[in-house]
Amino acid sequence: MTSKERVEAVIRHEKPDRMPIYGWVRYNMKDKIDERFGSVEAFEDHYAFDLAHLFGGPDAYFIGDEYTRKKEAGEEIEPPDVLNLPLNNPEEDKDFDNLRAEIKHHKEVRSRFVYVQTPGLFEQLNTVFGIENHLCYLLEYPDEIKEIYRRQAEWNRKFAGKCLDLGVDMIHVSDDWGSQKSLLFSPDIWWDMIYPGQKLVADYVKGRGGHISLHSDGDINLVVDGIKKIGYDVVHPWQESAGMSYEDFLKNHSDSFSIMSGYDIQTTLGFGRLDDVRSAAERVVRLFGNGGLIFCTTHFVQDHCSIDELVFAYDTICELTRT
C-alpha cells in the first residue's frame, strides 16, 4: 500500500497493511530535529510518515484601521464590529501558491495522504475577539454570533473547495471545543451555533469526494453524537488525559469515524519516562491492530521533549508496527 492507500483504508474502516504514522513534531522541535536529522522533512522521511499536514491560503478577515485602533486601545471587539469587517476572498489563486507547491511535492514525490488545516468557526473567531470575550458573546449576542458563524462557514466551504481543487485529500477543521473535563460551552450552544456551519462544510467536502477531519483538544464526549452526524471521517486527538477513552471509542464510535492519536503530549511524551512511552505505543498497537487509528501525537510535541526521547518514541512505534 502507498501511504495514501494506507490512510484511506483506515478511513474506510478497513485493516491497513500497517498502522499509518504521523506526528506533530515541527512546531517546537524543529531546531533539535534539524540538528540530528538535517531537517524536519528528513525526519519525516526517515520514519516514512504517511501524512502531510499543510497550512496556508488566505486569512479569513481583512483587518482594517478601525479594528486595529480598537485592539491597540484595549477596547473590546464586539460581534457588531465583526459583522462590519470584510472577509478576504477565500479563492484568490495567488494566496495558494505555497500550498500548491507543497501539495504537489507530498503527493507526487512522497505519495503521502495530504490534509490541509482550515479554521473552525469557534477557533477562528477566538483570534478576533479573544477567547474570554468570545465565550461571553455566545450568551450575550447569540443572533450576531450565529450570523458571523454563518458567514465564516460559507467562507470555509469555498476555502475547502479551493483546497480540493488543488488535490488535497482531507480538509482538517481545527476547532477546539473541549476543556480538560468537559466542553468549553454547553452542548445546546454547540448544536445551535457550531453544528450548522460545520455540517455545511462537511456535506460540501464529502459531496466532492473529499475527506474531512476535526481537531479539538480536550473532553468532547458530550457532542460525539453530533460529530458523527456531521460526518467527520477522522477526529484528532482522542485525548485520554481529558477523559476520552480508547475503549469507549472502540466500543461505541469506531464504526462511524477513525481517530488520530497515540502519544499523549500532556502525560506521556516529553517527560523522560521511556518505559511509559513504550507502554503507550504497545497499548495503542494492541488496541488498534485491526485499524481505526492513525498513529499521531495528541498535539505539538512540547519543547521539553529531548530529541533522544522523540527518536526513541518513533523508533518504538516503527518497531512495533513495521516488523
Partner 1 sequence: MNDPLQQLIEAIKVGNRKIAATATQTALDSGSSGKEVLGALSEGMDDVGKRFKANEIFVPEVLVAARAMKKSMELLEPILVKSGIKPEHTLVIGTVKGDLHDIGKNLVAMMMKGANFNVIDLGTNLPAQTILDAAIEHKADLVGLSALLTTTMPAMRETVALMNKEPHPFKIIVGGAPITQDFADDIGADGFAIDAASTVELARTLVTSS
Written as nine digits, the cell of 64 is 482594517
Given the rule CB under 8 A, which residues bind partner 1? 28, 131-132, 135-136, 138-140, 179-186, 189, 265-267, 270-271, 302-304
Residue whose CB is less far from partner 1, 201 or 265: 265
Residue whose CB is less far from partner 1, 243 or 289: 243
Q: Give min distance, CB of 265 to partner 1, in A.
A: 7
Helix axes 142-165, 131-140, angle to 10 degrees: 120
Q: Give min distance, CB of 242 to partner 1, in A.
A: 8
Q: Give min distance, CB of 270 to partner 1, in A.
A: 6
Residue whose CB is less far from partner 1, 111 or 179: 179
In whole angstroms, give the CA distance from residue 309 to residue 18.
Answer: 23
Residue whose CB is less far from partner 1, 72 or 132: 132
Nearest Cα neighbor of 210 from 174, 176, 159, 261 is 159
Q: Give min distance, CB of 136 to partner 1, in A.
A: 5
Q: Give min distance, CB of 292 to partner 1, in A.
A: 26
- From residue 305, alpha-carbon distances to 24, 25, 241, 242, 247 in Å are 13, 10, 18, 21, 28
Cβ contact 114:107 at 8 Å: yes
Q: Give min distance, CB of 279 to partner 1, in A.
A: 17
In whole angstroms, give the CA distance from residue 54 to residue 115.
Answer: 6
Residue whose CB is less far from partner 1, 136 or 274: 136
3-state DSSP assignment of residue 270: coil
Cβ contact 294:260 at 8 Å: yes
Residue whose CB is less far from partner 1, 103 or 194: 194
In whole angstroms, give the CA distance from residue 134 to residue 313.
Answer: 38
